[in-house]
Structure 1
Amino acid sequence: MEYFEKLIDKKKEFLVPCVYHFFQRPPVLVRGEGAYLFDSDGKKYLDCFSGVTVVSAGHSNPEIIEAAITQLRKLQHTTTIYLTEPMLELAETISSLTPGNLKRSFFCASGSEANEGALMLSSLATGRHEIAYLKEGLHGRTKWAINVTGLEMWRTDPNPMVTAHAIPGTRHPESLEILEELLKKRSIAAVIAEPIQGNGGIIVPPNNYWPRLRKLCSQYGTLLIADEIQTAWNRTGRWFATQHWDVTPDIITVAKALGNGFPIAAYITSDEIAAHYTRPGAATFGGNLVSCAAALATLIFHKRHNLGDRSERLGNYLQGRLQEIQARCPTITEVRGLGLMIGVELKDSTKGPAPALVDQILESLKDSGFLIGKSGVGRNVITFLPPLIIEKTEIDALLVALEKALEIRT
């Protein structure tokens, strides 16, 4: 039996059935280097998905790995009940990057956990127990996070633990008017939203959406939680995506690219809001020494190599080239994004979602040595989230392969 088939059999026997994979015949990935992944047969792939925006500084980045190894050799793990330097140094560094008065961090291990913590904190700070969220958003896999997720495919258990109100997404012209009516009638602790909805299909809001959202939340004493799990750390060309609109949320949640592959997450807030959380709180793996050392090295790497400017410049280039392809391909109905967070929406001849075509294109690109993502309510959006260290020549090679997959002739 082939190595691939043995692994598939193990997966079917030992994992929960919900754990799925892309591709009809997925590669067995065994190594990563920079913007590339390698499978068990030695085939090389340009990674244009970054583990869903995780390895923004590249796979097995030597500077980040060395910082983690150095810490690993000294001390691998304690918990937050002991005093250690890496977590505090990381918190101080994050405070220097966050907008406005956001300076206090609570570290944990995953984005779902960070969002759970942010929602809990909003309830503590306001004394309210209802939440509003946007349709087409994704905020995690844990119970409370699922209840404020606006994508049906990810709402594994639809039975809420809290009262959670769905608001039409940012593309709906009456989204904020509907939200204001809710804020008038109900006692809402927080509105949680992604600045750009990633799994929803790379949905970029209108320019005035977040400033108006900020104003509404302030007017009704409701906290604004920006879920920057995907968008933070220069993915959109800024440290935080809300900075595109000069908006300071009350709480920001982060994860993914913070550790460049090492598990670490956090929610970040102000002195005033943090002051409401005084009862003992800890996370066993929150602030793990090795993850904190890796996160610090990641942020240093971002600064040294100006990854925010790079993301904006290369993102503009990639989006412009994709729009040129769109002009020759009626199947592509929209190209959208900020920085190196770009979605290409495909529809069929009836103008309905074309998920089967997206799967065919992803399969073709995989066979050509390019790993791309997909997203959207109809799973019909090709998603480009490459490492921010990707080179322009590599983007050009990707575009050639994409044109071939779309069967376009210039």
Structure 2
Amino acid sequence: MKQEETVIGRTAVAAKRKEYFYPCTAHFYRDAPQLVRGSMQFIYDEHGKQYTDFFAGVSVVACGHCNPVITSRTIAQLQQLQHTSTVYLTQPNVDLAERLEEVLPGKLRRSFFVNSGSEANEGALLLARMHTGRKGFIALESGLHGRTNLTMSVTGLQMWRTDKYLDEDVTFIERPYHPELSLEEAAAVSLKSLERVLKEKGDTIAAMIVEPIQGNGGMIMPAPAYFREVRTLLDQFGVLLIDDEIQTGYGRTGAMFAMEHFGVVPDIISMAKALGNGVPVAAFATTDEIAASLNRPSASTFGGNPVSAATALAVLDYIRDERLPERAAELGSHLKKGLESLQERYPGMITDVRGTGLMLGAELAGSDAAGSAELTDNVLEAMKDRGYLIGKNGVGRNVLAFQPPLVITSEDVDGMLTALNEVLLQVSTEKEE
């Protein structure tokens, strides 16, 4: 059957979502297209309109939509052996674990495979409790770590803390960012809070969990020395550092893992999203010493299945062969300069540009908080109409999120910046009128 005969259209899709999905499931755009096909940095709707994707499914398809180099290996494995479980011996997952050791920082070399970022962080938190014999956690305000009970408990963004009965053994401290402070000043405030918590109850804390760059929190990247100071304080009290690289991992920031920018090796690292380029695969990794503590029977039925493992191996090969971290650093610098130029042109609308590599945010300002969020939605809508898909995040949902596939070109970046300038000019003109 031809594809067009199976496409029901955006109106029918939206109606079915409303009828069969939970009410918590929302989507971007007032006039949302039905996306039906993808190819590298491009995605197409039911009418064949092409969009350049600058969100990549929230940092997932880093190697591009339906990348033929990767999907060919996925298909080959799918046709050979699709699923068994870790209770049987298969080669793809052990090959993947071996390859991960090559790219993981420091002495991290043991991997436990699961299916999602939430599972990876849940496993990392469990591992920390098993190793330390302690129950408590420290987390940063405005962080996002998952939708399971424990990962939601360490999530500091209120809009994602759905459960009323979350784990109470979590202490939040100020994140190293405040709009009225320099990054160094904000880092000092956060570190002072961390030191106070550790002195009060450090012997009850298993780990501190952090995102090296807070994605959903608004593309917040701390001062360069922040995590080194965090590491020093945690070590004094035997508290582990969990590095949540769900959004930041695998080249997006210009390094394989974003924590590398800070010169810090964590005790446990969690990974997902870009590792599978759209195929569900995730993991949490640690050292031999810490891994030895997770010694009671455990398994994941689908974690590390042959298809996901073969896909992840293809992803790692592609990242290496195409030098995607280096590409992200170069194109990210180009994109950031373009966004900063727009900030100079529209200082009343773009109040900040932040992030690194191809993980950048541009914060927008309206007349008030509600106006800022509305402005962001309007810009997203107008950019979509011009053929560009951009994300949004931030505590007030007023930060444009630029997290494209790492295979975009400088021409794609220039085209998007031109379109964004047109949209901002139109908005500023309407405000003056």
Offset, 1:271: 0.4
Deviations 1:78-120 (A, max 9, x none): 1011111100000010101011000000000000000000000
Structure 1 residues 346 and 133: CA distance shift in structure 2, 3 A:
same
Distance in 2 between the 1:51 and 1:202 partners?
16
Deviations along 1:200-233, one digit per CA (max 9) or x if unpaired, are: 0000101111111111111110000000000000
Give the 3-state SS of the residue equivalent to 1:133 in structure 2: strand
1:372 to 374, 390, 394: 390
Is this contact kept in 2: 1:129–1:162, CA < 8 A? Answer: no
**How far did 1:325 drift?**
0.7
CA distance in 1, matches of 2:37, 2:370: 38
Report if the CA contact (8 A) 2:256-2:325 is conserved.
yes
Offset, 1:352: 8.2
Q: CA separation in 2, counterparts of 1:126 and 1:253?
A: 18
1:350 & 1:73 partners in 2: Cα distance?
55
- In the TM superposition, residue 381 of structure 1 has moved relative to its aligned partner by 0.2
In structure 1, the residue matched to 2:260 is 243
1: distance between equivalents of 2:208 and 2:164?
19
Secondary structure at 1:406 match in 2: helix
Contact 1:353 1:378 in 2 (8 A): no
The DSSP-based 3-state class of the residue aligned with 2:84 is coil
In the alignment, is residue 347 of structure 1 matched against residue 334 of structure 2? Answer: no
1:350 is displaced (CA, Å) by 5.7
SS of residue matched to 1:63: helix
SS of aligned partner of 1:174: helix
Residue equivalent to 2:11: 5
Taking a change above 3 Å as real, the CA distance of residues 81 and 351 of structure 1, as seen in their structure-2 partners, is closer
Q: Measure how far apart 1:388 and its partner are.
A: 0.4
Count of matched residue pairs: 408
CA separation of 1:11/1:349 partners in 2, compared to 1, >3 Å: closer, same or farther?
A: closer
CA distance in 2, matches of 1:325, 1:3: 36
Q: Which residue of the partner structure matches residue 195 of structure 2? A: 180
- Calculate percent identity across the aligned residue pairs: 50
Contact 1:144 1:162 in 2 (8 A): no
What secondary structure, in the 3-state scheme, does the structure 1 residue paired with 2:425 have? coil
Instruction: Please tell me whether residue 31 in structure 1 is matched to residue 48 in structure 2.
Output: no
Whole-Å separation in 2 of the counterparts to 1:385 and 1:50: 6
Q: CA deviation at 1:349?
A: 4.3
Cα distance between partner residues in 1 of 2:234 and 2:145: 19
Which has a greater percent of helix?
Answer: 2
Give the letter aligned to residue 301 of structure 2.
T
2:156 paired with 1:138? no
CA shift for structure 1 position 288: 1.1
1:157 is displaced (CA, Å) by 1.1
- 3-state DSSP class of the match of 1:77? coil
Map 1:4-403; keep pairs closer than 5 Å.
4-171=10-177, 172=186, 173-186=188-201, 187-330=204-347, 331-349=349-367, 354-403=372-421
| TM-aligned CA distance change 1:34 to 1:134, over 3 Å | same
Distance 1:4 1:393 in 2: 29
Corresponding letter in the other structure for 1:8: A
Secondary structure, counterpart of 2:392 in structure 1: strand
The question of whether the paired residues in 2 share the 8 Å contact of 1:137 and 1:193 is answered with yes
Q: 1:278 to 1:329 in 2, by over 3 A?
A: same
1:159: Cα distance to partner?
Answer: 2.2
Amino acid at match of 1:216: L
CA distance in 2, matches of 1:149, 1:131: 11
Deviations 1:251-287 (A, max 9, x none): 0000000000000000000001000011111001100
* Structure 1 unmatched runs, 5+: none
Query: 2: CA distance between counterparts of 1:312 and 1:158?
Result: 41
Deviation at 1:3, TM superposition (A): 2.8
Cα displacement (A) at 1:348: 2.2
Unaligned runs of 5+ in 2: 1-7, 178-185, 429-433
Instruction: For residue 317 of structure 1, give the secondary structure of its aligned residue in structure 2.
Output: helix
Task: Give the C-alpha shift of residue 167 in structure 1.
Answer: 0.9
> How far off is 1:170 after superposition?
1.4
Kindly provide the amino acid, as one letter, of the partner of residue 199 in structure 2.
Answer: K
Distance 2:368 2:66 in 1: 44
Q: Secondary structure at the match of 1:215?
A: helix
Conservation of the 8 A alpha-carbon contact between 2:332 and 2:356:
yes
Q: Check whether the contact 2:369–2:396 (CA below 8 A) recurs between aligned residues.
A: no
Query: Cα deviation per residue 1:30-67 (whole Å; 9 max; x = unaligned)?
Result: 00001000011111100000000000000000011011
Q: Secondary structure at the match of 1:374?
A: strand
* Amino acid in the other structure paired with 1:274: A
Question: Aligned pair in 2 of structure 1 residues 270, 371: CA closer, same or farther (>3 Å)?
Answer: same
Q: What TM-score, normalized to structure 1? A: 0.98
CA-CA distance at 1:353 after TM superposition = 6.7
